[in-house]
């Protein structure tokens, strides 16, 4: 370096494999080095071209097996020759260096092939090829771009202890070497990363990610004012962008946080390099060669999260096996754990995580899937005698697990972070297999199944990093009269109520819109949809959003089959569909159990449309009352028909009018059969704590059996009922009574049918499509509780569904999910 540069601080710039591969990246590299040279004395550390070291490792393995390693070497040779031609003007000398190096690699591999094994010395000699050549080529490329540069001989500036494969840098010797070499060095040094040299001058390598360590060693021995690591990401992100597309770059973080993330799977910087920089107080910057103007992430000892933002980022590590060692006959849990860990250590098996309960002799350890069998054998051997005597059970293994870790310095000073993590996982139906919190209290780790790993990451990230307040995601199944009316109501109020409809389904197709459906034109959008109908449930289950609400406006028996899965996955279910709640008692119990462990179900509109019937009855029971009798008009359709007939209308004409008004089901026979009322009575009774079955109800249908026919035939045969209905009307009127289609549950059983009531009965005053539910209970024995109001029509039913959606959103948001600024 020239004397004029002596008053400027050093700056170590390390460029990774993706940052030195290809002309565009090298142009960026040259620009960055030239920019730093204006204010600093840059020292450049380079990795091998992307993929080269791995390819050399494969060539070694092929040679040791006696295979044909030559094509692999020829391909690498050609790749470096092409790099010279692409990055540097015609340079025969540089081509000769490349050829000579690969000829040496060939001789080494030929020797490996002869003896069918390699020594650590030979392996380091082969694997160091990539960095050796990239430093030579990039130094020449920098020179041609106006940045005078010279390659440093491999290992010359990084003395090590001579341990091949994982050499330890000698910091004192490195500092002495640099003090001797730099004063007379002319130009920008380009140092091959990953490579050191023993005291005898033999090539050594620093282990996986060793180029980062090379940069850190130079950064602390120069000393430099900071180390810059240039890679293919903007810096450290809040989560893996392959899992969380909206992950954000962190501007600042502490070395402690970075090391936690690195251990748990975020391989941005080699941990040994970060530890060295932390120990010597040298800051680190992580930058992106694809976007050199991005600020990247700055790392130092003081930039950790505070109480205001306690969680900094998430890391995840998949392909892990959870090993369970239970020892019912061992009295000292601590000794059990110590022996287990020592057995794994002796076999050099990485332990990712360990957890132990103090109340029992049992320990769980998480190891890589690749080490599963070896770890199991190690534990079996260590506890062989105890297994023979039954004091220790056989090791159980759960493979394919993922560990998800929440990291932040501020977690130590913020109460409730772990509760919030587990709350959001529970709300999304994620089953936690094991948990651990670091002694530093800056990490919380949970082990989940590999299948649920991405969902867990997305759910936690959404909870901690998404902007607030957030809209609930809503999926709507069914676009019949109620469904379409609901969507029109949502079009007016969804944004105001923080709701975003992301899916609409009908019988044969679904519309999926992760960013939200334009509800002003939802009909056209549904017409052009082509997603399969089952995707509506699948996207609701897999979404990491919170809250999530699935709305069933169908009359289908298929959709309710998915309720339990939705609930257990943390998706609230809002239903106007009676089928799922009036089925067998066992299914009803299953739904209640799913709602207890997952999200909640809301189905107020299944009885009484928009009337507060089910909540009112359930509240009585929940507060200790006992229901003695339930009765009332539960069908707005049949209530309307009875009222019309009592006013002198012809029955069949009244049915046609009710159908036109949207009061009936798509096929009016579903109303006239009485089964719709029977289902409502079952649901009402169950809300009162009575486990009534549909088959327990005596149903008196208004239809003869042969009337259960296709819709067109139904309309043609319906007038046959007119004379009978007129006769019943006349008889009731002669007695001063009214016809009502009533459902009743009392100590004598349950029944549904056409009855007459006198003027003293609350149902006698019903008009139009009004519903009425009468409740006699211990508290309301003398004066029954009555709920009365409109009980049919798409407008009131859709409004009731809308109200349930709002209730689901509000109650789901009570789950303790933290605000970023809380």
Same domain, 567 and 456: no
Residue 442 pLDDT:
84
Highest mean pLDDT among 63-72, 291-300, 355-364: 63-72
Of 351, 334, 69, 15, nearest to 192 by C-alpha is 15
CB 346 within 8 A of CB 429: no
CB 629 within 8 A of CB 746: yes
Distance CA 269, CA 448 (A): 26
Residue 704 pLDDT:
77
CB 429 within 8 A of CB 594: no
Q: Give the residue, 54 or 544, on which the prediction is more confident.
A: 54
- The arithmetic mean of pLDDT across residues 725-745, rounded, is 95
Please determine, for residue 819, whether its predicted confidence score (pLDDT) is greater than 50. Answer: no
Q: Has residue 95 been placed in a domain? A: no
Domain harbouring 481, CATH code = 3.40.50.720
Distance CA 190, CA 631 (A): 89
Same domain, 534 and 654: no
The average confidence (pLDDT) of the chain is 90
Same domain, 408 and 424: yes
Per-residue pLDDT tens over the stretch 373-382: 999 999 999 9
User: Band of the pLDDT at 38, cuts 50, 70, 90?
Assistant: very high
Domain harbouring 439, CATH code = 3.30.2130.10
Task: Dig out the tokens for 365 from the structure.
Answer: 């350890």
Please determine, for residue 697, whether its predicted confidence score (pLDDT) is greater than 90. Answer: yes
Same domain, 401 and 344: yes
**436, 465, 494: which is the final residue of a domain?**
465
Per-residue pLDDT tens over the stretch 758-779: 999 999 999 988 999 999 999 9
Q: At a CB cut-off of 8 Å and minimum separation 6, what does 171 contact?
A: 217, 220, 221
Same domain, 394 and 501: no
Residue 218 pLDDT:
97
Same domain, 489 and 600: yes
With a threshold of 0.75, does the pTM exceed it?
A: no
Residue 89 pLDDT:
87
Please determine, for residue 573, whether its predicted confidence score (pLDDT) is greater than 60. Answer: yes
DSSP 92: H
Cα 350 to its chain centre, rounded Å, is 26
Please determine, for residue 414, whether its predicted confidence score (pLDDT) is greater than 90. Answer: no
Q: Has residue 86 been placed in a domain? A: no
* Residue tagged 């029944």 (tokens): 751
Please determine, for residue 443, whether its predicted confidence score (pLDDT) is greater than 90. Answer: no
Residue 467 pLDDT:
61
Q: In 569-716, where do the E strands start and end?
A: 572-575, 601-602, 627-633, 697-699
Q: Has residue 373 been placed in a domain? A: yes
Q: Give the residue, 359 or 141, on which the prediction is more confident.
A: 141
Neighbours of 810 (CB within 10 A): 13
What is the rounded radius of gyration, in angstroms, for the C-alpha atoms of the chain? 37
Task: Dig out the tokens for 137 from the structure.
Answer: 């080529």
Same domain, 684 and 645: yes
Per-residue pLDDT tens over the stretch 791-812: 877 899 999 999 999 999 988 8
Q: Has residue 293 been placed in a domain? A: no
Domain harbouring 623, CATH code = 3.30.360.10
**194, 209, 232: which is the final residue of a domain?**
232
Please determine, for residue 4, whether its predicted confidence score (pLDDT) is greater than 70. Answer: no
Task: Dig out the tokens for 700 from the structure.
Answer: 């008196």
Positions annotated as catalytic residues are 680
Same domain, 460 and 597: no
Say how many domains are in the chain.
4
**DSSP secondary structure of 740-767:** EEEEEEETTEEEEEEEEE-TTSGGGG--
Same domain, 477 and 562: yes
Domain harbouring 220, CATH code = 3.40.1160.10
CB 453 within 8 A of CB 404: yes
CB 547 within 8 A of CB 472: yes
Per-residue pLDDT tens over the stretch 302-339: 765 555 568 889 999 999 999 998 888 777 778 888 89
Please determine, for residue 786, whether its predicted confidence score (pLDDT) is greater than 90. Answer: yes
Please determine, for residue 686, whether its predicted confidence score (pLDDT) is greater than 90. Answer: yes
Q: Has residue 97 been placed in a domain? A: no
Distance CA 639, CA 634 (A): 8
Q: Has residue 68 been placed in a domain? A: no
CB 203 within 8 A of CB 155: yes
Residue 462 pLDDT:
84
**180, 200, 232: which is the final residue of a domain?**
232
CB 277 within 8 A of CB 215: no
Q: Which range marks the domain in which residue 363 is found?
A: 313-465
Please determine, for residue 2, whether its predicted confidence score (pLDDT) is greater than 50. Answer: no
Same domain, 576 and 509: yes
Highest mean pLDDT among 247-251, 385-389, 473-477, 512-516: 473-477
Q: Has residue 284 been placed in a domain? A: no
User: Band of the pLDDT at 634, cuts 50, 70, 90?
Assistant: very high
Q: Has residue 731 been placed in a domain? A: yes
Same domain, 735 and 643: yes
Residue 817 pLDDT:
41
* Residue tagged 């003896």 (tokens): 115
Buried (b) or exposed (e) across 457-496, using 16+ Cβ within 10 A? bbbbbbbbbbeeebbbbbbbbbbbbbbbbbbbbbbeebee
Residue 307 pLDDT:
53
Of 230, 327, 229, 235, nearest to 276 by C-alpha is 229
Output phi, psi for 62, to 5 deg.
Answer: -65, -45
Same domain, 341 and 450: yes
Residue 113 pLDDT:
94
Q: Percent of the chain scored above 70 by pLDDT? A: 95
């Amino acid at each position: 370096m020239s004397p004029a540069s002596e008053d400027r601080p050093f700056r170590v710039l390390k460029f990774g494999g993706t940052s030195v591969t290809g002309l565009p990246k090298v142009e960026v590299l040259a620009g960055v080095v030239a920019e730093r040279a204006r204010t600093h004395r840059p020292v450049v550390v380079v990795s091998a071209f992307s993929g080269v070291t791995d390819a050399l490792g494969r060539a070694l393995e092929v040679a040791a097996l006696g295979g044909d390693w030559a094509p692999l070497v020829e391909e690498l040779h050609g790749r470096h020759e092409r790099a010279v031609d692409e990055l540097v003007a015609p340079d025969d000398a540089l081509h000769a260096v490349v050829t000579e190096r690969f000829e040496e690699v060939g001789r080494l591999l030929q020797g490996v092939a002869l003896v069918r094994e390699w020594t650590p010395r030979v392996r380091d000699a082969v694997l160091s090829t990539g960095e050796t050549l990239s430093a030579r080529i990039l130094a020449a490329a920098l020179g041609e771009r106006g940045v005078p540069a010279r390659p440093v001989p491999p290992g010359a500036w990084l003395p090590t202890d001579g341990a091949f494969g994982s050499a330890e840098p000698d910091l004192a010797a490195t500092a002495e070497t640099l003090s001797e070499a730099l004063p007379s060095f002319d130009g920008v040094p380009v140092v091959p990363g990953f490579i050191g040299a023993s005291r005898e001058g033999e090539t050594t390598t620093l282990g996986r990610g060793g180029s980062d360590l090379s940069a850190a060693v130079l950064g602390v021995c120069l000393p430099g004012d900071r180390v810059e690591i240039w890679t293919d990401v903007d810096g450290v992100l809040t989560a893996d962008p392959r899992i969380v597309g909206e992950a954000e770059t962190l501007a600042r973080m502490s070395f402690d946080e970075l090391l936690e993330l690195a251990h748990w799977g975020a391989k941005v910087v080699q941990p040994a390099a970060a530890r060295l920089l932390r120990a010597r107080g040298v800051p680190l910057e992580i930058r992106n060669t694809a976007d050199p103007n991005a600020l990247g992430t700055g790392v130092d000892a003081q930039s950790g999260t505070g109480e205001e933002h306690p969680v900094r980022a998430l890391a995840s590590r998949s392909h892990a096996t959870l090993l369970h060692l239970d020892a019912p006959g061992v009295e000292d849990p601590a000794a059990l754990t110590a022996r287990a860990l020592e057995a794994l250590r002796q076999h050099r098996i990485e332990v990712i995580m360990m957890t132990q309960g103090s109340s029992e002799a049992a320990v769980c350890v998480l190891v890589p899937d690749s080490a599963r069998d070896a770890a199991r054998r190690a534990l079996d051997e260590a506890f062989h005698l105890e297994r023979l005597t039954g004091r220790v059970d056989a090791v159980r293994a759960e493979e394919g697990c993922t560990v998800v870790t929440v990291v932040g310095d501020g977690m130590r000073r913020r109460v409730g972070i772990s509760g919030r993590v587990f709350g959001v996982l529970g709300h999304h139906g994620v089953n936690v297999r094991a948990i651990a919190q670091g002694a530093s209290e800056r990490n919380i780790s949970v082990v989940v199944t590999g299948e649920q790993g991405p969902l867990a990451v997305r759910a936690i990230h959404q909870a901690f990093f998404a902007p607030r307040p957030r809209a609930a995601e809503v999926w709507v199944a069914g676009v019949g009269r109620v469904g379409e009316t609901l969507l029109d109501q949502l079009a007016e109020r969804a944004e105001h109520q923080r709701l975003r409809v992301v899916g609409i389904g009908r019988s044969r197709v679904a519309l999926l819109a992760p960013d939200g459906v334009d509800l002003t034109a939802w009909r056209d959008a549904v017409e052009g949809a082509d997603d399969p109908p089952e995707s509506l449930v699948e996207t609701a289950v897999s979404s990491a959003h919170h809250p999530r609400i699935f709305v069933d406006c169908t009359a289908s028996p298929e959709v309710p089959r998915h309720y339990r899965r939705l609930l257990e996955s943390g998706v609230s279910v809002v239903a106007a569909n009676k089928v799922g709640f009036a089925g067998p008692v066992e299914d009803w119990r299953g739904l209640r159990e799913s709602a207890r462990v997952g999200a909640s179900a809301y189905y107020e509109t299944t009885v009484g449309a928009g009337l507060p019937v089910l909540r009112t009855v359930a509240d009585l029971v929940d507060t200790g009352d006992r229901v003695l009798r339930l009765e009332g008009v539960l069908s707005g359709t049949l209530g309307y028909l009875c009222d019309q007939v009592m006013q002198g209308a012809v029955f069949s004409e009244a049915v046609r009018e009710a159908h036109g008004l949207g009061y009936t089901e798509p096929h009016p026979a579903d109303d006239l059969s009485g089964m719709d009322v029977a289902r409502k009575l079952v649901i009402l009774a169950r809300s009162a704590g009575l486990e009534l079955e549909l088959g327990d109800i005596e149903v008196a249908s208004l239809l003869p059996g042969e009337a259960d026919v296709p819709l067109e035939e139904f309309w043609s045969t319906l007038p046959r009922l007119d004379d009978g209905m007129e006769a019943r009307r006349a008889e009731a009127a002669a007695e001063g009574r009214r016809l009502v289609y009533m459902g009743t549950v009392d100590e004598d059983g349950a029944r549904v049918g056409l009855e007459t009531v006198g003027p003293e009965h609350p149902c006698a005053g019903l008009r139009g499509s009004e519903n009425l539910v009468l409740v006699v209970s211990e508290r309301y024995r003398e004066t029954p509780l009555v709920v009365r109001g409109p009980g049919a029509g798409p407008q009131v039913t859709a409004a009731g569904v809308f109200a349930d959606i709002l209730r689901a959103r509000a109650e789901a948001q009570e789950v303790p999910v933290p605000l970023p600024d809380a």
